[in-house]
Amino acid sequence: MKFTKMHGLGNDYIFINTVEQHVEDPSSLARAISDRHTGVGGDGLILIQPSERADVRMKMYNADGSRAQMCGNGIRCVARYAIEHGLAAGPRLRIDTDDGVKSVSCKLEGGIIASVCVDMGKPSLDPAALPSTLPGDRIVEYSLRLGKHEYTITCVSIGNPHAVVFVSDLEPVKLEVLGPQIENAPEFPQRINTHFVRVDAADHVTIRTWERGSGATRACGTGACAVCVAGVVTHRTERIITAALPGGALQIEWADDDHVYMTGPAVEVFTGDWPVPEPTRHNSQNVPGKPLSEPRP
Percent of the chain with pLDDT over 70: 93
Query: Across all residues in the chain, what is the average pLDDT?
Result: 92
CATH topology of domain 2-119+267-272: Diaminopimelate Epimerase; Chain A, domain 1 (3.10.310)
Catalytic pick from 71, 117, 155, 228? 71
Residue 284 has a pLDDT of 40
Given a cut of 70, whether residue 295 has pLDDT beyond it is no
Task: Write the pLDDT tens digit of every residue in 144-179.
Answer: 998 888 999 999 999 999 999 999 999 999 999 999
Q: Which of 77, 106, 117, 220 is catalytic?
A: 220
Specify the pLDDT at position 111. Answer: 81
Catalytic annotation present for 155: no
- Tell me if residue 208 falls in helix, strand or coil: strand
d(CA 53, CA 100) in angstroms, rounded, equals 10
Q: Please state the domain extents for the chain.
A: 2-119+267-272, 127-264
- The answer to whether residues 36 and 25 touch, using CB atoms and an 8 Å cutoff, is no
**Residue range 65-93: average pLDDT?**
95
Q: What was the pLDDT predicted at 119?
A: 98
Distance CA(121)–CA(119), nearest Å, equals 6
Parallel, antiparallel or unpaired: strands 193-201 and 161-166: parallel
The pLDDT, as a whole number, for residue 294 is 39
Which pLDDT score is estimated for 297?
A: 38
Q: What was the pLDDT predicted at 149?
A: 84
The C-alpha atoms of residue 128 and residue 191 are separated, in whole angstroms, by 13
Residue 296 has pLDDT above 50, yes or no: no
The conformational region for residue 114 under phi > 0 = left, psi -120 to 50 = alpha, else beta, is alpha
Is the pLDDT confidence value at 288 over 90?
no
Q: Is 71 a catalytic residue?
A: yes
pLDDT category of residue 118 using cuts at 50, 70 and 90: very high
Flag whether pLDDT at 290 surpasses 80. no
Quote the pLDDT of residue 147.
84
Mean pLDDT, to the nearest integer, of 113-129?
A: 97
Q: Nearest Cα to 61, choosing from 18, 100, 13?
A: 13
H runs (alpha helix) in the chain: 26-34, 72-84, 175-183, 221-233
| Structural class in CATH, domain 127-264 | alpha beta
pLDDT for residue 107: 94
pLDDT (average), residues 113-125: 97
Q: Which stretches of 36-191 are DSSP H helices? A: 72-84, 175-183
The pLDDT tens digits for 210-235 are: 999 999 999 999 999 999 999 999 99
Lowest mean pLDDT among 57-71, 185-199, 278-292: 278-292
Q: What pLDDT was estimated at residue 279?
A: 57
pTM for the full predicted model: 0.88
Cα-only R_g, the chain: 21
> What single letter denotes the amino acid at residue 239?
R
- For residue 97, count other CB atoms closer than 10 A to its CB: 23
